[in-house]
Amino acid sequence: MQKILKYVVVDILRSRIVLAYTLFLLLISFSIFNLEDNPEKGLLSLLNLILFIVPLISIIFSTIYFYNSSEFIELMVSQPIKRKSIWLSLFGGLAVSLGVAFFVGAGIPILIYQPNITGFLMIIAGLFLSVIFIAIALLSSVITRDKAKGIGIAILLWLYFAVIFDGLVLFLLFQFADYPLEKVMVGISSLNPIDLSRILILLQLDVSALMGYTGAVFKDFFGTATGITISFSVLILWIVIPVFLSLRKFKSKDL
């Protein structure tokens, strides 16, 4: 398993796409912090980039890598190696590689300009989003053999989590505006890892005052140590569940 993991990590880190992704994050991160007089404003601007670009690159790159590695996976399956080891090595290699790319590209500038709890939380949230969308990508990829269909599913999933989900939540709020849904929103936000990460970071930036009563409810829950612990536990579940489901599918899949 360690040899497969090492091979996948080295192979991905040598990819021009991953190098370009790292340099892009590095350039944008330093540019944002240098353009803003207040580092917290720079962090807020960088937040939007992390919440949209990181999941997009993670899910699309992982999907393409899975399909491009189909011959390598078939070769490994033909060897006396457990399918579980192959699948977890593939997932681990993608997670380590894209995690390193994110940390070098965005994590280092954040540590230079905002070495505080908010900066650390943003780095952790970015790493979680990278791994979560890798897990989702592998689940969607293992379901279908068609590369074009798999990439299409990956893009649709990203659109759902990044854009469509918020539209559905707003529609729900407008339709039930007469009912107190603020506490319900705490549970609904757990259904989207992007929204959950956004709320955790915005509360650290004290922007919750602009969110009205809903922001106060969020701060009462997510602003506490218990709330933060539960939130990260939910993010861990967003990794564990897709990996578990994709592993079950891969074990029974006829390659």
231 and 225 in contact (C-beta within 8 Å)? Answer: no
DSSP 3-state of 150: helix
Per-residue pLDDT, 130: 94
Per-residue pLDDT of the chain (255 residues; tens, 9 = 90+): 677 788 888 888 888 999 999 999 999 999 988 887 777 778 888 888 888 999 999 999 999 999 998 888 888 888 888 888 889 999 999 999 999 999 999 999 999 888 888 889 889 999 999 999 999 999 999 988 888 898 999 999 999 998 888 888 878 777 776 676 666 777 787 888 998 888 888 777 765 544 444 455 566 666 667 777 888 888 999 999 999 999 998 887 766
Domain range annotation of the chain: 2-252
59 and 150 in contact (C-beta within 8 Å)? Answer: no
The DSSP symbol for 113 reads H
Spatial separation of the C-alpha atoms in residues 36 and 22, rounded to whole Å: 22
Per-residue pLDDT, 210: 46
Q: Supply the pTM of this predicted model.
A: 0.91
